[in-house]
Amino acid sequence: MGESRAVFVLGAAPYATMLGFALLVYFLVYPWIVYIKDSKGLRQFPNMSLFSGMSDLPFILVAHGGARSAYLAKLHKDEPVIRIGPNSLSVGRVAAIKDIYGRGVPCTKDESYELTATKHYHLADVVDKPEHARKRRVLSAAYSLKTLENWEHKVADKVQRLIAQWDPRCTSPPMGNMPPGPEELTVDVRAWTNFFTLDAIADIGLSERLGFLDQGHDRVTGEFLNGHTEEFNLRECLYPTAHKQSLLLWSYDWYKVLDKLSNIIPFYRRMAKSGRGWDAIVLRRSNLRLNRYVAGEKTDDFFQALMEDKNGNQHQLEWDEVVAEVNIMMNAGSVTTAIAITNALHQLLVHRDVLAKLREELDAVLEPDEAIAPYDKVKHLPYLRACLDESLRLNPPTTYGLPRKTLRGTSIGISALVAHRDETAYPEAEKFIPERFLGEKGKDLQSAFIAFSAGARGCIGRNISYLEQTVLIGFKMRRLETMNHLLGEMPVKLWRRVRDAECN
């Protein structure tokens, strides 16, 4: 028995040696040859790290550190272009925005969008330009400003429900400069803001009342393809889905393999399970709305626009395509706005002088008894919009550089966090200065502002995001006082604001 085992080992040894040699050539020798040959001329750009010109691994490791874009921002202070992978460049100057993301440029979305897409692409991950144009035509009516104002009452309804939850949680004003006690931190702003955006986008998109604001939690039913239903915490399913992709995506050739192998590790396996839960939640929402549509219900929402045009003509989309569009609507339509609102609240709490100016502007246009700021009254307030844009500039909800493929096949992108710190466009870029977005200078800055990306592939839902941000920030800053305590879950002490006019 021992002799046969020895013969087997000796017989396998040459194959193991050949395999080891092949792996050595593939992972070390071949990348080195490609790097030295430099057929695309990328060696002229400084590497992010010593081995970035030969491997994507350094960038993946930086991504796992959780501060990828902040790390690039530091490097870009000295270098306008940095090589972050064998075939990938990061650009750090706003002057390149038009050339990469502008209308009519030859750059297309790169392979990363196809790698993470499902069978049917949605508007955000479709690469083919004619197909993107078709999708955008179908959805443009739903996202127009005219349609948006028809949905204002849905956002106002969610603000009213938020008031019903926050008013009872208000505490007495603080005594001097004493910090609040733990029992006074009655509101987790991050959680409630997310409940608000999720409830709002479900109503705007599907005319569905999720009820998160009423219930104070995000428990919801999901449905799998086999018809099995299960209860999930929506946010626990939503956020890990994108997190896993952001950690593993950067090696395009190996992403599919890494995505599967990583599930051996509990950390990644939990994220994969969360992703399946998110898909089930989206499918359940889509099926429920389809049943109402088939039953003849006509509602003014995103789903209706997916199914037919304003004249009632059917779009004849495949069902999987409809589900894909509902998926990105609920995902991007809630997450980015919740992040934007939370960051804006934080900036206003820290910069009390800015908050005072904003309140003067709000008090000048709103009646004393208006608990909810009507969108028609606040949508054109210059200082409110400047505060929102300056917060989005400093803390864009999506920070990584949305990658585009050049004609020579190189992946290139500009991180919004990096671009928004380009001192040529934004002097004192690390400071919160809303005034930079006022007047003609503010209009000129829009070409350097990519919180919603830019060009034909810019975020189609930016108007909805501004609607929700404007109405909620207007309500919050005019009605309530708050003392920031901790970031993370962001618990705060909340109390009702007393305006000077109310004291007279």
Residue 355 pLDDT grade (very low, low, confident, very high; cuts 50, 70, 90): very high
Percent of the chain predicted with pLDDT > 70: 88
Q: State the average pLDDT over residues 23-49.
A: 80
Q: Which residue has the higher pLDDT, 394 or 119?
A: 394
CB 455 within 8 A of CB 102: yes
CB 421 within 8 A of CB 98: no
Q: State the average pLDDT over residues 493-500.
A: 62
**Which residue pairs from 111-114 have beta carbons closer than 8 angstroms and sit at least 24 positions apart in sequence?**
111/252, 111/405, 111/411, 112/249, 112/252, 112/403, 112/411
Residue 344 pLDDT grade (very low, low, confident, very high; cuts 50, 70, 90): very high
Q: Say which CATH superfamily domain 109-411+430-503 falls into.
A: Cytochrome P450 (1.10.630.10)
Helical pair 234-248 and 189-206, crossing angle rounded to 10 deg: 90
Residue 16 pLDDT grade (very low, low, confident, very high; cuts 50, 70, 90): low
53-63 confidence digits (pLDDT tens) = 988 888 988 98
Q: Does the annotation place 459 within a ligand binding site?
A: yes
**Cα–Cα dist 412/25, whole Å:** 27
Q: Given CA atoms 351, 193, 138, 305 in this order, what sign does their dihedral have?
A: negative
Read off the amino acid at residue 440. Answer: E
Q: Which helix or strand (DSSP H or E) is residue 84 part of?
A: strand 81-85
How many separate helices (H) and strands (E) can be counted in the chain? 23, 10
Mean pLDDT of the chain: 86
| pLDDT for the residue 487 | 43
| pLDDT for the residue 372 | 85
| pLDDT for the residue 172 | 74
Tokens describing residue 93: 């100057």
Q: Is the pLDDT of residue 117 over 60?
A: yes
DSSP string, 152-197: HHHHHHHHHHHHHHHGGG--PPP-TTPPPPGGG--EEHHHHHHHHH
